[in-house]
Amino acid sequence: MSAPSRNQKLLAWVDEVAQMTRPDRIEWCNGSPDELDRMFDLMVDEGLATMLNPSKRPGCYLFRSDPSDVARVENRTYIACRNREDAGPSNNWADPAELKATMRELYDGCMVGRTMYVIPFTMGPLGSDISRIGVELTDSPYVVANMHIMTRVGNGVIKLLDDQADFIPCLHSVGKPLAAGASDEGTWPCAPLEDKFISHFPEERLIWSYGSGYGGNALLGKKCLALRIASVAARDEGWLAEHMLILKITCPEGKHRYVAAAFPSACGKTNLAMLIPTLPGWTVETIGDDIAWMRFDEEGYLHAINPETGFFGVAPGTSQESNPNAMTSIQRNTIFTNVALTEDQDIWWEGIGYDPPGELIDWQGRVWHDGSREPAAHPNARFTAPATQCPALAPEWRDPRGVRISAILFGGRRPSTVPLVHEAFDWNHGVFMGSSVGSEVTAAALDLQAGTVRRDPMAMLPFCGYHMGDYFRHWIETGARQDPAKLPKIFYVNWFRKDASGRWLWPGYGENSRVLAWIFRRCEGKAAARETAIGYMPDAAGIEAPAGVSDADLQELLTVDKAGWLREVASIREHYATFGERLPAELQQQLDALEQRLLQL
């Protein structure tokens, strides 16, 4: 094969990695449909993939991972930077030289018996000044197939690289060399937990991942590049790399606005991104379901792109009722990982909305009957589906200029205290709201008292590549540089309120459009709000209540619970203490001011 790229830095790096990992062969990926088919054929032949029923789910494949390799491994995820303090209290820090030495030993010969794939990809549309190029070297055809769906792999980026465009090197190995002539023979390849490393070198904009083939550990464009490394680049270059969905809302008069929203996991982010409004005349379209890269344009307005091209969504709980658009998106050309298999070679999972149609094979390959003790699908089972298959995808989702963001939403799972919606007084108050995001813990197994709030500021705790105190400062400084009149408004929403007896006060799902409508009207300056101790809030008349929500329920959803909020202030104080001196004084002031306003009630 002639030189597959004219990019000198890329050729040298591929050569250096090949000498260390010693693959049997090297294959340069071009992102073509033929290439994707070849990956699937290869993995079906090796017993790693099952082709699903083509008349029910054309182009779909099922994979079962190793039980030790089913989710992101936060305790094996590292930020390796010169000063330990720069990684902050929320990250595992490692010394870059030491970590590299450890990992080089693991990488030594780790691709023997395998093919090393070179995947050139972009995060974000080609030609966008917000987009970034990455190149992932991996010995996993499963990663190649997923990267085809989740990122832009192909000739466009190869051409940019030929023109010597810079790229972020992403090295990945499953960590399981093969003996001569051996194959995986149906066993998901990965390394034991203690040899897994998901390592980031933010000062060098470099990613090294070893030992896991699953999701965020292995598809390095997603959490590693688009959040951990990009958050550092964003801080240094004055933009925002955020764990946010992006959606488009159109009102009955035909005007549209774009909203970005951050929620911790298990708060229905993909459902909100694909919401079907129950409010007559309103529509919601999807731009992205997980990550937003945002930059202020020359006129001072915040613009966002979705850097991804697919959805890597949690399967269990996804149903025709909870998310019809997701169900349509996964009808074809989708990779399913760790879901259950039906007798007619279709998929099933807990919460899919119908009973298992007979005997199943569970995610570990075992026969499963209704009533079996363990779930048939792993709770973190996933679908990887192309964004273009989402019926609600907005055509401008790939606009290189991005979309202008009118509002930023934060939220968490808060059965008590936090009202249905409240709006920040200004940007810094909104940053304060984002910094306090969290979900109430219910599972006793987590060793925390039920009712404790597990804080996940801006839903970025596992994904910020540097100290969270500096991250809050970056948000404050970014806002301070702009004309306040052009900044997006910031809101805190809570779809998860319960009453004292534990009954849900708000139905959620499509009914959340009623809250989005108030937010939309606030952005237009057309909705009334009252000033409260915690922010601007609608009166009951400002939200059209859905069936089943009584006047009293709505009152409770929109009331400031003084005692609850004073407990919240104390809890945020404890949370803030974890950031030490790097917590911006502005946020401490916001907290003190909130307490004072509450005490005056």
Beta carbon of residue 290, minimum distance to ligand O2Y (angstroms, whole number): 4
* Residue the block writes with tokens 């917590």: 583
Contact 364, 287 (CB under 8 A): no
Angle between helices 427-435 and 585-599 (to 10 degrees): 90
Q: Which stretch binds ligand O2Y (CB under 6 A): 213-221, 346-354, 357-365, 391-399?
A: 213-221
Helices (H) and strands (E) counted in the chain, each on its own, are 16, 31
Give Cα separations from 249 to 118, 255, 575 (angstroms): 39, 8, 34
Among 96, 124, 177, 216, binds ligand O2Y (CB under 6 A): 216
CB closer to ligand O2Y out of 380 and 439: 380
Beta carbon of residue 290, minimum distance to Mn ion (angstroms, whole number): 4
Rounded CA-CA distance 330/328 in Å is 5
Residue whose beta carbon is closest to Mn ion: 290
Among 136, 290, 308, 595, binds ligand O2Y (CB under 6 A): 290
**Residues within window 420-449 making contact with ligand O2Y, judged by CB under 6 A:** none
Task: Give me the active site residues, please.
Answer: 267
Contact 197, 210 (CB under 8 A): yes
Rounded CA-CA distance 1/412 in Å is 52
H-helix or E-strand spanning residue 513: helix 513-523
Q: Which stretch binds ligand O2Y (CB under 6 A): 3-11, 87-95, 211-219, 516-524?
A: 211-219
Residue 532 site contact among ligand O2Y, Mn ion, none (CB < 5 to 8 Å, cut-off depends on kind): none
Contact 475, 481 (CB under 8 A): no
Output b/e per residue, 392-403; b: 16+ Cβ within 10 A.
bbbeebbeeebb
Beta carbon of residue 264, minimum distance to Mn ion (angstroms, whole number): 9
Binding of residue 72 to ligand O2Y (CB under 6 A): yes
Residue 122 site contact among Mn ion, ligand O2Y, none (CB < 5 to 8 Å, cut-off depends on kind): none
What is the gyration radius of the CA atoms in the chain, in angstroms? 24
CB closer to ligand O2Y out of 72 and 196: 72
The residue count of the chain comes to: 601
CB closer to Mn ion out of 397 and 576: 397
Binding of residue 215 to ligand O2Y (CB under 6 A): yes
Residues 6+ apart with CB under 8 A from 342: 348, 356, 357, 358, 360
H-helix or E-strand spanning residue 385: strand 382-386
Residue 202 site contact among Mn ion, ligand O2Y, none (CB < 5 to 8 Å, cut-off depends on kind): none
Q: DSSP characters for 388-438? A: GG-TTB-GGGG-TT-EEEEEEEEE---SSSS-SEEE-SSHHHHHHHHHT-E
Q: Which stretch binds ligand O2Y (CB under 6 A): 120-128, 163-171, 212-220, 511-519?
A: 212-220
CB closer to ligand O2Y out of 259 and 460: 460
Structure tokens at 512: 């959340």
H-helix or E-strand spanning residue 270: helix 269-273
Residue whose beta carbon is closest to ligand O2Y: 215
Binding of residue 336 to ligand O2Y (CB under 6 A): no
Among 26, 71, 276, 448, binds ligand O2Y (CB under 6 A): 71
Which x/- pattern over 187-206 shows residues binding ligand O2Y (rule: CB under 6 A)? Answer: --------------------
Q: Which of 161, 119, 208 is nearest to 8 (CA)?
A: 161
Site size toward ligand O2Y, by CB under 6 A: 10
DSSP secondary structure code for residue 469 in this structure: H
Beta carbon of residue 292, minimum distance to Mn ion (angstroms, whole number): 11
Structure tokens at 108: 């030594």
CB closer to Mn ion out of 71 and 593: 71
Which x/- pattern over 78-117 shows residues binding ligand O2Y (rule: CB under 6 A)? Answer: ----------------------------------------
List interacting residues with Mn ion (CB under 5 A): 290
Residues of the shown chain interacting with ligand O2Y in the complex, contacts defined by CB under 6 A: 71-72, 214-217, 265, 290, 312, 380
